[in-house]
Structure 1
Amino acid sequence: MARRPTIKDIARRAGVSESAVSFALNDRPGVSRDTRARIRRVAEELGWQANSAARALSGERSGAVGLVLARPAHTLGVESFFLQLVSGIQEVLSAARTALLFQVVEDVDAECAVYRRWWAERRVDGVLVVDPRTGDPRPALLAELGLPAVTIGEPGPPTGTGTSPVSAVRADDAGAMAQVLEHLHGLGHRRIVHIAGLPGLAHTVRRMESLRAEAERRGLGPDHVRSVVTDYSDAEGAAATRRVLAEPRPPTALVYDNDVMAVAGSAVAAELGIPVPHRLSIVAWDDSALCRVTHPRLTALVRDTAGFGRLAAEELLSVLAGGPAGVRESERPRLEPRESTAQAPAHTDS
Structure 2
Amino acid sequence: MTTRSTRPATIADLAASLKLSKSAVSNALNNRPGVSPATRARVQAAAERSGWRPNALAKALSTGQAGAFGLCIARDSRVLGSESYYQRVIAGIEEVLIDSDHALLLRLVGPTGRDLDVYRQWAREHRVDAVALFDLQADDPRPPLMDELGLPAVIQGSTTSTHHPVVNGDVHAEVRMIIEHVRSRGASRVIFLHGPTHFTHEIDRLAAMRAATRAHGMPLRTIETDYSQEQGLAHGRDLLADGWADAVITSNDLLAVGVARALGDLTGADSALQDPADVRIVSWDDSLLCAYMRPGITALNRHPQSTGRQVGRLLLSLVGGGSGAAATDAGSAPEDEGHRTTLVVRESSEVPDRIED
TM range (shorter): 0.7 to 0.9
Equivalent of 2:238, from 215, 240, 243?
243
Residue by residue over 1:179-223, the C-alpha shift from the partner in whole angstroms, topping out at 9 and shown as x without a partner, is 212222344433211111232211111111111111222334xxx
Q: Tell me the distance in 1 between the aligned counterparts of 2:9 and 2:113.
A: 39
Residue by residue over 1:282-340, the C-alpha shift from the partner in whole angstroms, topping out at 9 and shown as x without a partner, is 11112222222222222221232212211221222223228622241445522233321
Shift of 1:44: 4.7
What is the RMSD of the two structures over their aligned residues, measured on CA atoms? Answer: 3.2
- Matched letter for residue 91 of structure 2: S
Shift of 1:59: 4.4
Equivalent of 2:254, from 260, 273, 278?
260
Partner of 2:221: 226
Structure 1 residue runs of 5 or longer lacking an equivalent are: 159-163, 345-350
SS of structure 2 residue aligned to 1:283: strand
Equivalent of 2:132, from 128, 137, 157?
128
- Matched letter for residue 227 of structure 1: T
Equivalent of 2:153, from 139, 149, 153?
149
Residue by residue over 1:155-187, the C-alpha shift from the partner in whole angstroms, topping out at 9 and shown as x without a partner, is 2x46xxxxx611011111222112212222344
Q: Which has the higher mean CA deviation after the structures are superposed, 254-263 or 141-150?
A: 141-150
Partner of 1:112: 116
Partner of 1:201: 199
Q: Tell me the distance in 2 between the aligned counterparts of 1:95 and 1:20.
A: 24
Partner of 1:286: 285
- Matched letter for residue 336 of structure 1: V
Instruction: Describe how 1:205-216 pairs up with structure 2 within 5 A.
Output: 205-216=203-214
- Matched letter for residue 338 of structure 1: R
Shift of 1:52: 3.3
- What TM-score do you get using the length of structure 1 for normalisation? 0.81
Partner of 1:170: 168
SS of structure 2 residue aligned to 1:314: helix
Q: Evaluate the alpha carbon distance shift between residue 188 and residue 115 of structure 1 in structure 2; reply closer, same or farther with a 3 A threshold.
A: same
Q: Evaluate the alpha carbon distance shift between residue 108 and residue 167 of structure 1 in structure 2; reply closer, same or farther with a 3 A threshold.
A: farther
Partner of 1:298: 297
Structure 2 residue runs of 5 or longer lacking an equivalent are: 268-272, 353-357
- Matched letter for residue 187 of structure 2: H
Q: Percent identity?
A: 38
Instruction: Describe how 1:176-191 pairs up with structure 2 within 5 A.
Output: 176-191=174-189
Shift of 1:71: 0.6
Q: Evaluate the alpha carbon distance shift between residue 278 and residue 320 of structure 1 in structure 2; reply closer, same or farther with a 3 A threshold.
A: same
Q: Tell me the distance in 2 between the aligned counterparts of 1:17 and 1:275.
A: 84
- What TM-score do you get using the length of structure 2 for normalisation? 0.80
- Alignment size in residue pairs: 334
Partner of 1:335: 343
Shift of 1:3: 5.2
SS of structure 2 residue aligned to 1:127: strand
Q: Tell me the distance in 2 between the aligned counterparts of 1:128 and 1:227.
A: 30
Q: Tell me the distance in 1 between the aligned counterparts of 2:105 and 2:229.
A: 28
Shift of 1:104: 1.0
Equivalent of 1:138, from 138, 142, 149?
142
Q: Tell me the distance in 1 between the aligned counterparts of 2:29 and 2:347.
A: 60
Q: Evaluate the alpha carbon distance shift between residue 204 and residue 276 of structure 1 in structure 2; reply closer, same or farther with a 3 A threshold.
A: farther
Q: Tell me the distance in 2 between the aligned counterparts of 1:13 and 1:210.
A: 66
Shift of 1:42: 5.7
Q: Evaluate the alpha carbon distance shift between residue 38 and residue 195 of structure 1 in structure 2; reply closer, same or farther with a 3 A threshold.
A: same
Q: Which has the higher mean CA deviation after the structures are superposed, 51-60 or 302-311?
A: 51-60
